[in-house]
Amino acid sequence: MEKAKLETVARMLVDAQRLVVLTGAGMSKESGVPTFREAHDGLWARYDPTSLATPGAFRRNPKLVWDWYTYRRELIAGSAPNPGHHALVALEDLLPQVVIVTQNVDGFHQQVGSSDVICLHGNIQENKCFDDCQGKPTLVDISRLEWDAETGPPTCPYCRQALVRPNVVWFNETLPVAVLERAQQLSQDCDVMLVIGTSGVVYPAAYLPMIAHQSGATVLEINPSPSGISQIAVQRLAGGSGELLPLIVDLIRQLKST
């Protein structure tokens, strides 16, 4: 990556008063967590995740979907946030406002201590009643349940009817209203949006950079490949976020000290 491009992006970030950072699966790639569209290793290579992450798939074959989430939870448990996640925490000491809006469900931003994280699509570590029988969401602590995991997910301990499912937003499910509204408002109000590691094909998350752009914000991108966001980004740094973010934060620190 040529230094001049990094310096250009650092100079666009150093004076940001209201920065929004939108992250996707690419943010966790250097932690060893496969991105959403990349073929998962082994058993899951033959399934398209967008056909597993749906309420219909869960109704049709709860064990298959539950096992896919168990596999992903184990993958995440065996991984760790990478230097890119830590760099975003360091950015909070350099800029007046940094809000992370993430599409990721791995919990890594929260784990490293980012202070304001909006999870658009939920949290893979949490489970809930499929029917939200006690209200939205009816969280269930499965560590307190006894069930035969060979049969798939447990039954909700409250209603004893519906099955327990991961507390994530599936395709064809609406995002929590308050979460989406806050993300949209922040995208409208930000002066800079840094978009990291997303293909920009899943909506309504992919609308957020467009909202920022139409509101006059500077949109920047870190992604090794062009994405659905690239055409509205004034700069795309073609590299890995785990490698580039620490370099950018160092440059911002230098600019701040001169």
CA gap 95, 102 in Å, rounded: 19
Question: Is residue 202 a contact point for ligand BV8 (CB under 6 A)?
Answer: yes
Question: Is residue 227 a contact point for ligand BV8 (CB under 6 A)?
Answer: yes
Query: Taking contact as CB under 6 A, which single stretch among the options 131-139, 145-153, 171-179, 182-190 is the one that binds ligand BV8?
Result: 171-179
- Given a contact cutoff of 8 angstroms between Cβ atoms, the answer to whether 82 and 245 are in contact is no
* Cα-based distances in Å from 44 to 67, 69, 73, 140: 10, 11, 14, 26
Query: Taking contact as CB under 6 A, which single stretch among the options 33-41, 58-66, 85-93, 134-142 is the one that binds ligand BV8?
Result: 33-41
Judged by DSSP in three states, 31 sits in: helix
Question: Is residue 232 a contact point for ligand BV8 (CB under 6 A)?
Answer: no
From 40, 85, 109, 121, active-site residue: 121
User: What are the backbone dihedrals phi and psi of residue 211, each rounded to the nearest 5 degrees, phi first?
Assistant: -60, -45
Least distance to ligand BV8, CB of residue 151, Å: 21
Reading phi first (left if > 0) and then psi (alpha if -120 to 50, else beta), residue 241 is in: alpha
Helix H segments across the chain?
A: 3-14, 49-52, 55-60, 62-77, 83-91, 108-112, 177-189, 208-214, 241-257
Question: Is residue 162 a contact point for ligand BV8 (CB under 6 A)?
Answer: no
Nearer to ligand BV8, 104 or 138 (CB): 104
Residue, CB closest to ligand BV8: 26
Which residue is it, tokens 């790639």? 29
Which residue is it, tokens 């448990």? 77
Residues 115-134, interacting with ligand BV8 (CB under 6 A): 121
- Per the annotation, the verdict on 109 as an active-site residue is no
Q: Give the total of residues touching ligand BV8 (CB under 6 A).
A: 37
Least distance to ligand BV8, CB of residue 14, Å: 21
Least distance to ligand BV8, CB of residue 232, Å: 15
Least distance to ligand BV8, CB of residue 30, Å: 5
Judged by DSSP in three states, 68 sits in: helix
Least distance to ligand BV8, CB of residue 253, Å: 21
CA gap 235, 124 in Å, rounded: 32
Partners of residue 100 on adjacent β-strands? 21, 117
Question: Is residue 66 a contact point for ligand BV8 (CB under 6 A)?
Answer: no
Which DSSP state fits 217? Answer: P
Question: Is residue 50 a contact point for ligand BV8 (CB under 6 A)?
Answer: yes
Residues 13-32, interacting with ligand BV8 (CB under 6 A): 24-26, 29-30
CA gap 192, 235 in Å, rounded: 12
* Cα-based distances in Å from 227 to 26, 223, 230: 11, 8, 5
Query: Taking contact as CB under 6 A, which single stretch among the options 172-180, 182-190, 208-216, 230-238 is the one that binds ligand BV8?
Result: 172-180
Catalytic center residues? 121
Interface residues toward ligand BV8, by CB under 6 A: 24-26, 29-30, 35-37, 50, 53, 103, 105, 121, 168-174, 196-199, 201-205, 222-225, 227, 240-242
